[in-house]
Chain A
Amino acid sequence: MNFDIHHFAYLTENIEFTVNEMSAIGFTLESPIYDIISQKVRVCFLRNKENICYELVEPYVENLTLKRLLSNGVTIYHTGYLVSSIEAATDYLKEKEFYLVSIFHSEAFNGRRCAFFVTRSKNLIELIEL
């Protein structure tokens, strides 16, 4: 089972402001800003010359969980991985005692399926189906 890192997700109160900040250290906006309605967030992707990708995530006002993380000072909060099959990866991760949080179609990936999992130690990961 391959899990190829796609991005590190970075919480922000204001996407446009953080895009500007990150440009100072070599990150360039490479996507539109998407509304992912099911997840109650706005997101966009930045990349640098070393091919490191950040997903900036701005929670909607009503997204209390992510707002709370932000107010507690959390910024980097999940890692995104590309997988060939959500079903196969789900079966594999459940066997490894990862907990499935949600499966959804993401506007940020042309409607492809994504899934969030969390471990007992609160390591949050997102899978993006190729």
Chain B
Amino acid sequence: MKAQIEDFRVILSEVLEREIESLNIMDAPKDVDGWDSLNHVYLIIKLESHYKIKFNTSQVQKWSCIDDILNDINSLT
């Protein structure tokens, strides 16, 4: 899980174009500056490309924090 959160931190940092120093797995998108609806979709596209997976709409709608996203990546890889 540690490697994944680090991967995720790098990807999120690229999407938001800034350093993500204090990202916590229980953070919700609304807790992270610049993580708005457009960047949320850019993040999905980047994660799908990076992990060669495809999220379905019902999965994405249930995400309330970073841990939910990591769990779904785990279930698809």
Report A's interface with B, CB cutoff 8 A.
63-65, 68, 94, 99-102, 116, 118, 120, 122, 124
Contact = CB atoms under 8 A, between A and B. Distances in A.
Q: Give the interface size bracket for B toward A.
A: 10 to 19
Interface of B: 17, 33-34, 36-42, 44-45, 49, 57
B37 A101 contact: yes
Contacts of B49: 120
Contact of B41 (A63, A64, A94, A101): A101
Pick the 10 closest A-B CB pairs, nearest first.
A64-B34, A102-B37, A99-B41, A101-B41, A101-B37, A101-B38, A65-B36, A65-B38, A118-B41, A120-B45
Contacts of A116: 37-38
A102 B44 CA distance: 14
Nearest to B40: A101
A94 B17 CA distance: 27
A65 B44 contact: no
B42 A122 contact: yes
Given A65-B36, A101-B37, 11 more contacts: A64-B33, A64-B34, A65-B34, A68-B34, A99-B41, A99-B45, A101-B40, A102-B37, A118-B38, A120-B45, A124-B38
A116 B41 CA distance: 11
Nearest to A38: B37
Q: Which residue, A65, A102, A118, A124, has most C-beta atoms of chain B within 10 A?
A: A65
Contacts of A99: 41, 44-45
Nearest to B34: A64
A65 B45 contact: no
A65 B39 contact: yes
A101 to B, nearest CB: 5
